[in-house]
Structure 1
Amino acid sequence: MEVETINVQEAILLESTTLSSRQKNEMNVMKTKYGKTMENSDYLEKLEFFVIDVIKTKQMDTLLTLNRTDGNVPRWFVTGFIRMPGFLYAICQLPRRYRYTNCINLFIDSCEILGMICDDVAGSRLSKVDFNTQSDEHWTLFVQFIGVIYREGNSAGFKTKLIRTLRLINYREGEYTSFVQALFKAHSRIVVLRIDFEYQKGIARTVSLSEALDDLDHLVANMRNNAMFDHMLGYIFKVEYGVDRGIHIHSVLFFNGARRNGANHIGHAKQIGDYWQNKITLGRGTYWNVNAKIEQYRQKGICGIGPIHWQEYDLQVNLLNMVIHYVCKEQQMIRSDAEPYRKIIRKQHFPKINEVRRGRPRTIMIASVSDQLEVESI
């Protein structure tokens, strides 16, 4: 496949002339470390794509000899150079005590190898480079930097990590797909609630993974004796870390639509969110009621939440492709070496979903994924 190229000087010139005023302001804010920050999660997502491009390139020998006066180079190379201030700022907002996705960890490790970042006594990182896209010195540093990413990213150890992660993601998505399909096979109507459990802005970045998991354990323990969770068929939880949101928990809750009023799904989700905010976290928490935005998803044709009938195959496909796939992705993954055995992704069904039911057998619209990989607790 032909690699898209761009002229180095033209690209850097375009940066200063075509960025919107909002983008320019965000870039300036990132360099000052004060004021309102941009969506750092967007930079982390772009950072992961950048690392993948570096690892996969077939032109590394040529790229390592480039200087600013050379002609066309791969577009990803130039955009990566231009975005380095944002990349460095974003990773410096990530707490040191956690490990993140493979690509983010590789970026951080490569920065440390070249002395581009250092540890802060407050438990975060500091950038030692005020990256300037007009600097020849920083161009040379960037070329060295991608060389380190390429070398470490193509090592046997890192490739093993990537393969292992991909296998786990594929297994998890297959397992969770089968889980959802089994629910629809056993029940004619299911009410799907999507709620993000979070923490108040003032404390979000100070809440530890251990505290968040304790709160989640508390919520799950209280489910069996609380009427708002009556007729629940199962749940999926995933704990993530976002630079702008801190630790947060994505949840997908499944209720029996034959026993719960599906028309009240927005109010039901709000009730559970308020319970998290006021009872579980005692005011420290907040939440995002995704079901409240259901009309937007319907208009876009991507709705996979709310009341779903077993014959509404399009909604079930959206549930799998837009909701379950999102929960299973690696992005914003967080791990703690201090508590490696506490699960950050969980699912549970109750009662048994494989019980024999009367009536006409239902055909599930997507074939079940065979369980051929050995799952690992993560």
Structure 2
Amino acid sequence: MPRPPFRRLLVPSAALWWGLQLSFLNPALAFLLVGLFDATPTEVGVVLALYNASGFVASLVVPVWADRRGEYVLPMVASGVLTAALAVVLALVTALPPAVVALVVLGGPAGVGSSLLFAHLKNAGAGAEQVVRTRAVFSAAWIAGPPLATVLLGYGVHWLLAAVVVIAALNVVTTLQLRRGVAVGAPEAPAGPGVPWRGTALVAVAFVAVAAANSAAVSVMSLFVTQRLGLDVVWAGIVLGVSAGLEIPALLLLGRLTARFGDLPLVLSGCLAGTAYYLGVVFVAVGPVSLLALQALNAWFFAISAGVGLTMFQRIIPRPGLAVGVFGNVRKVGQVIAGPVIAVGSSTHLGYGGVFAVCAGLTTVALLVVLVSRRAVPELSARPA
């Protein structure tokens, strides 16, 4: 008997609200710290570092706790409640120290909810295709979220915080329905075999390199467009917007291809696309047309790293929560490494084009490491059942 329409829309709705919740709050945190507490640049850097460190720890501790109990919905609900509480605290306090405490104590664990959605799907028996499709909805929320948050910030930071509270409340309501909305799967997370740590470490190294390349390239795009190509900064926004827009259909296509071919061939194709994209950008001389055309490669590369990368970690790590926790932290480590990548690349004679050259090297390394990891994790070479 087919599920009612609202049941079929339950998981996409949850992904939409989780995506909006993160995309409203996280990109605006630095602005909030300055606007509410007159934080200096140094204070902003320190506070965000503490906040991200708290999130790093929480994204391992909370999923492992969830794995042991086979329970992912309740920690997700708690994450939504903590997000609303964080927004309320930030709106009420008048000094930076209590705001820092709130960001560390409430904000770190609050950010785990979105990754637990994918752990819940895996535990409930969802296949790779559904996971990747859900990731596409999450990405769509990130396209819409930051512009909407910017509009609200124009009316004042408290409007944005109020919106975060409303979204978090809707998130809690939707998430509670997941217990009945996804009826397949076991009541507890399967114990499964032990984690193949050697192979997992190799795959993690590859995806750290991928995340570092992507983060560095996005961070310097505005400088590359203005200083290397001599274009108006608006073209950087257009370029990144085109890439983000192409990412959605790429993820939807990958949902079907993952079920047919498996993770490994697609990840290898993503690394090749990433290398071709970064090398192509290095040789872009003038005008935005070729740079815009190259965004098809970039979208494919990012969609595979974000969507198929997630399903690959879920495949090789038999614990749903731990898998998404490790995957999320691998991406965070890559974002940290992006800083040195920018520093080294921009110091060459290519200027900011050198950053893309270094990124091409990183994606090539990722491709080679993934190939080597096949021996440590034979499951990577197997096609889906």
Classify the TM-score, shorter chain: under 0.3
Provide TM-score, normalisation by structure 2: 0.27
Q: For CA contacts below 8 A with separation 6 or more, give which structure has more relative contact order.
A: 2
Q: Tell me which protein shows more strand as a share of its residues.
A: 1
Provide TM-score, normalisation by structure 1: 0.27
Larger radius of gyration: 1
